[in-house]
């Protein structure tokens, strides 16, 4: 378990009801950090409320098939990730900047009827996420780094390889997954991967497909 989540040890340490922030193509993973620029009034209210409570927010993507509720709000993917606000700053123009640290993934059991302007849901947490290093030794680190290097070279990008070399497997897999430039379906597949090894293998496969597609595309269409 990483130090940032040291006070989450059992199911009793995790809230059963959490505010929900639907955001397409946003990926938060346990142990990862996600910066967010909050400006919509209902989510500013949500931030005020959770700062006064336990600082937990559930990040979840809108339903990938475009399903909408009767009130026009988007349906939700079944699996999201709960984060805890670790930093907060007001910008002076009505916005706020927060950083969420991922705690556990969750499954949406039921949306609640609430009076708050933001949505809330009853969830069940993936308790295996409390041990964020579980399965890290099985990650194909070389394969992951080789694919990452190939992607950077193909897109004329650079990385801080010293920091990459020092990163533990769990940190590396989750950080690369979160920063990957893929779409909602790919991000959801990375989120729902049952363990670190599968997440790393999924990221490698998605990246290899992207590289192959770029090689096949005529230069004038890239």
Q: Residue 184 pLDDT > 60, yes or no? A: yes
Mean pLDDT for the stretch of residues 39-45: 96
- Which tens digits make up the pLDDT trace of 141-173? 999 999 988 888 888 888 888 888 888 999 999
Hunting for tokens 């933001």 — which residue is that? 118
Per-residue confidence (pLDDT) for residue 4, from 0 to 100: 46
Q: Which of 88, 103, 104, 2 is nearest to 48 (CA)?
A: 88
Per-residue confidence (pLDDT) for residue 118, from 0 to 100: 97
Is the distance from CB of 46 to CB of 52 less than 8 angstroms? no
Q: Residue 37 pLDDT > 60, yes or no? A: yes
The neighbour count for residue 180, using CB atoms within 10 Å, is 18
Per-residue confidence (pLDDT) for residue 11, from 0 to 100: 84
Hunting for tokens 């996420």 — which residue is that? 129
Q: Which of 144, 191, 194 is nearest to 169 (CA)?
A: 144
Per-residue confidence (pLDDT) for residue 1, from 0 to 100: 37
Distance CA 168, CA 174 (A): 10
**What's the N-to-C CA distance of the chain in angstroms?**
42
Phi and psi (nearest 5°) for 122? -90, 130
Q: Which of 42, 133, 24, 34 is nearest to 83 (CA)?
A: 34
Q: Which of 149, 150, 111, 153 is nearest to 17 (CA)?
A: 111
Per-residue confidence (pLDDT) for residue 10, from 0 to 100: 81
Per-residue confidence (pLDDT) for residue 2, from 0 to 100: 42
For strands 56-60 and 33-38, give the pairing: unpaired
Per-residue confidence (pLDDT) for residue 215, from 0 to 100: 67
Please give the model's pTM, rounded to 2 decimal places.
0.89
Distance CA 84, CA 64 (A): 25
Domains, the chain, with CATH or none = 3-129 (2.30.130.40), 136-221 (no CATH)
- Which tens digits make up the pLDDT trace of 55-92? 999 999 999 999 998 888 999 999 999 999 999 999 98
């Amino acid at each position: 378990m990483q130090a940032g989540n040291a006070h989450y040890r059992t199911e009793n340490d995790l809230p059963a009801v959490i505010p929900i922030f639907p955001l397409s193509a946003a990926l938060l993973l346990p142990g990862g950090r996600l910066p967010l620029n909050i400006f919509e009034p209902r989510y500013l209210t949500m931030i005020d409320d959770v700062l006064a409570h336990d600082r937990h927010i559930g990040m979840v993507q809108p339903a990938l098939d475009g399903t909408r509720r009767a009130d026009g709000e988007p349906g939700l993917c079944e699996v999201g990730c709960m984060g805890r606000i670790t930093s907060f700053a007001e910008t002076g123009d009505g916005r706020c900047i927060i950083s969420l640290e991922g705690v556990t993934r969750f499954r949406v059991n039921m949306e609640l009827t609430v009076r708050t302007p933001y949505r809330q849901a009853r969830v069940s947490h993936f308790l295996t996420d409390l041990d964020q290093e579980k399965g890290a030794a099985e990650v194909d680190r070389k394969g992951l780094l080789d694919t990452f290097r190939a992607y950077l070279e193909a897109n004329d990008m650079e990385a801080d390889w010293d920091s990459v070399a020092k990163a533990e497997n769990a940190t590396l897999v989750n950080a690369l997954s979160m920063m990957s430039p893929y779409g909602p379906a790919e991000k959801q597949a990375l989120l729902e991967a049952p363990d670190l090894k599968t997440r790393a293998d999924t990221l490698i496969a998605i990246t290899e497909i992207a590289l192959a597609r770029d090689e096949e595309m005529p230069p004038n269409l890239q």
